[in-house]
Amino acid sequence: MYLKGVGPVRAEGLRRLGIVTAGDLLYHIPHRYEDASTVATIASLETGMQGTIIGTVVSKGVLPTRKGLRIFQAVLKDDTGMIEVAWPGQPFLDRTIEKGHVLLVSGVVRFFHGRQLQPKEYVNLGEDDSGTAHGRVLSVYPATEGLSFKIIRGIIDAHLDSLLPLVTEYLPREVLAAAGVVSIGDALRMVHRPASLAQALEGRARLAFEELLFVQLLQQRAKALARETRRGIRFENRRDLTTKLRESLPFQLTGAQGRVLREIFADMCSDRRMQRLLQGDVGSGKTVVALFAAMLAMENGFQAAIMAPTELLAEQHLRSMTRMLEPLGIAPILMTGSLKTRERREIAARIADPAPVLVVGTHALVQNATEFAQLGLAVVDEQHRFGVEQRKAMGAKGEAPDVLLMTATPIPRSLALTLYGDLDLSVLNERPPGRQVITTALRPESARERVLEFLNRQIEQGRQAYVVYPVIEESEKTDLKAATTEFEVLSTGVFKDRRTALLHGRLPAEEKDDIMRRFRDGDVDVLVATTVIEVGIDVPNATVMLIEHPERFGLSQLHQLRGRVGRGAAASFCILLGHVSPETRKRLDVFVDSDDGFEIARADLQLRGMGDLFGERQSGVPTFRVADPLRDEQLNERAREVADRILTTDPELDAPAHAAMRRVMGERYSRSFELFRVG
């Protein structure tokens, strides 16, 4: 790229931002704006109007509603008056929006006990509005070292007029009309040089929409291909083993379990292959759902396999399933890496025989030597702990078995559909009755002694405790209490009369499993551990969890950890201990105050972004430059509808009207784009 005003040094900076061509420069979109010249006064807003205002927060709070929805409300004031602004379902905004903050809000005015502004968009301008609230709208760009957003703005501003005429529309006219978004040329001008904030948002909406549309097209295509090429087994609901299981269970299925099972059975009894993701909060009862699906496969003469991320978890499943299936005269078998060669050969022989069987295991199940004669159902538990390849390998066993993926990482439905667009989604949004609330508290460093004494008393009563640390070994740079050093302190100090053990990820797998087994069997009172205990371990006698350095954990991760206690009849506790900043305290309060995994995940997403929630394992998750599938829920919905319509009439995108769009998608998503046959 050669542009005036861009020498080698700036070009290098731009390259770091991913800007190599003039086109990249045009698509380097401001991530926020300052000012708003077209702001209405609060007094002038009338019911039914769309408007943008700037006001200072004079009061705020979270209101519960009868339906359980929580609403964040703030009252904004400018020189002319006050108005209430309400964000339904976003109680976590209470952590970021403060009294005295100046907000720029645009939305619709409704009547609800008075005027109420329902925001479509808002920008928090912080404490001080001097100089930003008046004058023209300024674009603020993602910047890099040595290349400030002002320089970037200068470069873009200088070239915008000559570059824009080179851009031609690539979305079909009907699509623009259906989505209600502006053309690409207008959009780019609007985001870079907006006359008002509303205009900037309008331009952004177009860019976000096209991004969501492209991802939807790619994913729906992937889904269609999967269905086309892989027909599945058509099971028949014989109501034999499944009915027997239902009758022998010591509990009634929850309404949510019943609904999810109907969804799963409908898939399994169609000739389409099931590819379903089951989401359910910790303790929502996913295992028994998998078990019913397995019984449906078996009563049809097929085999079923359930893969878990650790040996311990596989053993635990084997144990609970053996118990539940005993009345049916079925004994599930275990397949893990630590079996002796002979046992392993025996089990391999059994599953190579086409008789119905239920196998529970680890990734040993997908190793090459394991050949299923008649695999009808493959279940992957805690699927987020596996890599994409392992999940695929499980589905590749046998001949097109139905696949059920299960996860306790709860994410909002709209986001799930975007991230896992090629899967169908079922959600367990109800917990079995009688589950107790885990008393959760954040305690300061000064309470350490009392907290440890509390743990001791629990142990005296015959209970067990977890103590969790974020890292393994103390590093010189940080003063984090590492599990190993602190284990020494605890086991020779306050817990010197207790049976203690240390568990962390660097131990060999066998040793880890052995320690967990001892804890499960009650031979260890205090388990000092890193997050390796996060996954589905069930020790009902463990009633208290102490988490050190809670600021180092994501909220969803804390929620998963907390799910390790409260599994028995006794009252249970989760204590976060440490000295935290007021900011962090607010974040942690979301976790302390809520036991709803979905609400917690939503807050996590807002506060820390998607990367933290999914980690590096979830590669293959599309990343968005402009769109935010969580905030742009409505645009995302529209994108899905439009993508549906396009693919119904033109599944290969080879109609001339789609040629330009096809070209742009090809350039942008070259790898995924192979789904649309090339040439």
Q: Does 536 bind Mg ion (CB under 5 A)?
A: yes
To Mg ion, the closest distance from the beta carbon of 592 in angstroms equals 24
With respect to Mg ion, which residue has the nearer C-beta, 280 or 421?
280
Q: Which residues contact 108 (CB under 8 A, 6 or more apart)?
A: 48, 49, 50, 117, 118, 120
Query: Which of the residues 432 through 461 are near ligand ADP (CB under 6 A)?
Result: 432
To ligand ADP, the closest distance from the beta carbon of 537 in angstroms equals 10
Query: Which of the residues 254 through 273 are near ligand ADP (CB under 6 A)?
Result: 254, 257
Q: CA 411 → CA 183, 223, 290, distances in Å?
A: 32, 20, 20
Instruction: Write down the residue that tokens 């319509």 correspond to.
Output: 645
To ligand ADP, the closest distance from the beta carbon of 317 in angstroms equals 9
With respect to Mg ion, which residue has the nearer C-beta, 25 or 290?
290
Q: Does 287 bind ligand ADP (CB under 6 A)?
A: yes
Q: Which residues contact 81 (CB under 8 A, 6 or more apart)?
A: 41, 42, 43
Strand order in the sheet with 358-361: 333-335, 358-361, 303-307, 375-380, 402-407, 275-280, 424-428
CA distance 591 to 555: 6
| Partner in contact with 111, chosen from ligand ADP, Mg ion, none, beta carbon below 5 to 8 Å by kind | none
Binding letters toward ligand ADP, positions 381-420, x by CB under 6 A: ---------------------------x------------
With respect to ligand ADP, which residue has the nearer C-beta, 36 or 260?
260
To Mg ion, the closest distance from the beta carbon of 381 in angstroms equals 6
Q: Rule CB under 6 A: choose which of 286, 504, 564, 587 binds ligand ADP.
A: 286
With respect to ligand ADP, which residue has the nearer C-beta, 35 or 315?
315
| Partner in contact with 251, chosen from Mg ion, ligand ADP, none, beta carbon below 5 to 8 Å by kind | ligand ADP
Instruction: Candidates 245-253, 392-400, 439-447, 599-607: pick the segment binding ligand ADP (CB under 6 A).
Output: 245-253
Q: CA 596 → CA 30, 236, 563, 600, distances in Å?
A: 34, 36, 11, 6
Instruction: Candidates 129-137, 303-311, 458-466, 535-543: pick the segment binding Mg ion (CB under 5 A).
Output: 535-543
Instruction: Candidates 37-45, 88-96, 116-124, 286-294: pick the segment binding ligand ADP (CB under 6 A).
Output: 286-294
Torsion-angle region of 331 (φ positive above 0: left; ψ -120 to 50: alpha; else: beta): beta
Q: Does 566 bind Mg ion (CB under 5 A)?
A: no
Q: Does 142 bind ligand ADP (CB under 6 A)?
A: no
CA distance 352 to 348: 6
Q: Is residue 61 classed as helix, strand or coil in its secondary structure?
A: strand
Mapping DSSP onto H, E and C, the string for 499-514 reads CEEEECCCCCHHHHHH
Q: How many residues in the shown chain lie near ligand ADP by CB under 6 A?
A: 16
Cβ distance 530 to 481 under 8 Å? no
Q: How many residues in the shown chain lie near Mg ion by CB under 5 A?
A: 1
Q: Which residues contact 601 (CB under 8 A, 6 or more apart)?
A: 409, 410, 411, 412, 555, 556, 559, 613
Rg of the chain, C-alpha, whole Å: 28
Q: Which residues bind to Mg ion, rule: CB under 5 A?
A: 536
Residues found near ligand ADP in the complex (CB under 6 A): 251-254, 257, 280, 282-288, 408, 432, 536
